[in-house]
Structures are given as structure tokens and as C-alpha cells.
Amino acid sequence: MAKNYMLLYGKNSVLERLRANPESIRKVLLSDKFKEPEIEDLIEKHAIPVERLSASDLAKKRPAKDLQGVIAKVGKFKYVEFDDLLDTPESKRRTLIFLDRVSDPHNLGVILRTTACFGGFAVIIPGHEACEVNETVLHVASGAENYTPVSMVTNISNSMAKAKKTGYWIVGAVVDEDAISIEEGNLPFPLGVVLGSEGSGIRPGLKKHLDMKARIPMEGALLSFNVNIACALFCYEICRQRTGDQ
């Protein structure tokens, strides 16, 4: 039987959950030498059950090198309905980051952390051939899951088409020479950005929905950025242009 909870570990991950969504925490496990006043105060404030364990016993609960003396037992991750992201006033719509088959949990975790830091983004992932929001993703995200909505959809292509019908413009992050440079082109809003898989980029079936192709200017080696780095660069430029429009 699949477990109906997740284990959140590491100081930052647990602290941000305590700050933003304490009701999702069922229990906190601490090493017997753990001392972090803010975490301990928030546990007490929200009357969350806590248990002290030896470092070795704590490590048995969730084998990982970055436990940092704290594990929180939390409810399963809750995805946001895609339609709810679209059903908002245009002036308050988030920029949508569509991820096409991103399978590495570390990449997904970094993308969540990046979008949370910039603010005003939501991430859309497919339900198949891609990484879901698992415990590794949450650890890498370091609490970002509390600030960036994530929607899991059955079909990315259909979701892109639906977004376009509600007024979104869809831009694909590519390396094609005929694509505009993100720092030179004027990005349209509300905006959806498609980032391809770590190995093969955006699938041809998705490219038919693109209103624009954009690339990151590179003067160095003929390589490509990791998907999480590409996401960060696009988010920066999106925020710069989005702020300029306000």
C-alpha cells in the first residue's frame, strides 16, 4: 500500500513549511542534539507532535546526507488545478512554466526554488514521462513548494492550447538560430514558457502551439544550458520586462 504522507527533511525545507503551511505537518522528528530556536518555537506554537531521536535512529527514518537533524512528516503534495491558474483576472495571472518531460528531481527542485524567488510564476508538469513532486524535489526546493503553484496535467499540448484560448501567449525556449534573443525581443503577457527535456528539448508536437521561439544569447562554446539554468535566465528576463510593463 502506498504511503499517504511524505518526509520533508533539512532545516530550510521544514522551516519554510512551518512558516507557510504548518497545518500540513503531522509530526516532526528531531535529533536529540538539535537546536534551532525558530523551528522549535514554531513547532510549539502550532502544537505539532514532536519526537526526539538519536542521530542514528533519525537517519533510519529517511536515509539522506542532508537531514540536518530534522524530518517532518507531511501530507502528500497537493497539485493546483490547471483551470484554477487560468481562472484569474488577467492582471494577476502568473507566468506559466511548462516543463516538457523534465525527469531529474534535482532540476525540478531548482526550478521550483528559482520561480519562488522571482515570484509570479506557476509550474506545469505532465503526469507521464516526467518527474513528479517527490521528497527529493521538496528537499532541493528548500521550501519553494509553498510559494510556487504546481499543476500536473494529463496532456501538456492540450493545456498549452487551453491557455492560448484564455489569452496567453506561448514562447518556446530553443537554441534555433532563427529564434529571437530574449534580451532583444518584447515578450507578450500573459505569458507561458515551454522548456524542453534535459536531452532532446521541446517535442515537435508542442512546437506547433508556439507563438514565438526565443533563445538565450551565447557567445561561448556551442553547448546548451541545463534546463534549470535556462529557466532562471528566462525568469530573470521575464521579470525585467514584466516590471517594465507595470
Domain topology for 82-245: Alpha/beta knot (3.40.1280)
Percent above pLDDT 70 for the chain: 97
Q: What is the mean pLDDT of residues 216-235?
A: 88
Q: What is the mean pLDDT of residues 58-69?
A: 93
Residue-level pLDDT at 246: 43
The CA–CA distances, whole Å, from 213 to 25, 66, 77, 175, 178 equal 42, 39, 33, 9, 8
Residue 201 makes CB contacts below 8 A (sequence gap 6+) with: 100, 174, 175
What residue spans in the chain does CATH classification 3.40.1280.10 cover? 82-245
Q: What is the dihedral of CA 34, 37, 40, 44, to 10 degrees?
A: 150
> pLDDT (tens digit, 9 = 90+) per residue, 93-102?
999 999 999 9
Q: How confident is the model at residue 245 (pLDDT cuts 50, 70, 90)?
A: low
**For the domain bounded by 5-75, which CATH number is listed?**
3.30.1330.30
Q: For residues 76 and 14, is the Cβ–Cβ distance under 8 A? A: no
When mean pLDDT is compared across 11-25, 63-77, 221-235, the lowest value belongs to 221-235
Q: For residues 226 and 199, is the Cβ–Cβ distance under 8 A? A: no
**CA–CA separation, 43 vs 138, rounded Å?**
19
**CA–CA separation, 110 vs 89, rounded Å?**
28
What residue spans in the chain does CATH classification 3.30.1330.30 cover? 5-75
When mean pLDDT is compared across 48-52, 127-131, 220-224, the lowest value belongs to 220-224
Residue-level pLDDT at 122: 98
* Higher pLDDT pick, 185 / 210: 210
**CA–CA separation, 50 vs 28, rounded Å?**
5
Residue 17 makes CB contacts below 8 A (sequence gap 6+) with: 8, 24, 25, 72, 74, 143, 146
Residue-level pLDDT at 222: 65
**CA–CA separation, 80 vs 198, rounded Å?**
24
- 507532535: which residue's cell? 49
What are the φ/ψ torsions at residue 210 (nearest 5 degrees)? -75, 135
Sheet with 25-31, side-by-side order of all strands: 5-9, 70-75, 25-31, 50-53
When mean pLDDT is compared across 60-69, 151-160, 191-200, the lowest value belongs to 191-200
Residue-level pLDDT at 90: 82
178-198: string of b/e by CB count within 10 Å (b at 16+)?
Answer: ebeebeebebebbbbbbbbbe
pTM: predicted TM-score of the whole model, two decimal places: 0.94
> pLDDT (tens digit, 9 = 90+) per residue, 142-171?
999 999 999 999 999 999 999 999 999 999
Helices 227-245 and 105-118: crossing angle in degrees, nearest 10, is 20
Residue-level pLDDT at 38: 98
> pLDDT (tens digit, 9 = 90+) per residue, 111-144?
999 999 999 999 999 999 999 999 999 999 999 9
Q: For residues 234 and 174, is the Cβ–Cβ distance under 8 A? A: no
**CA–CA separation, 154 vs 20, rounded Å?**
28
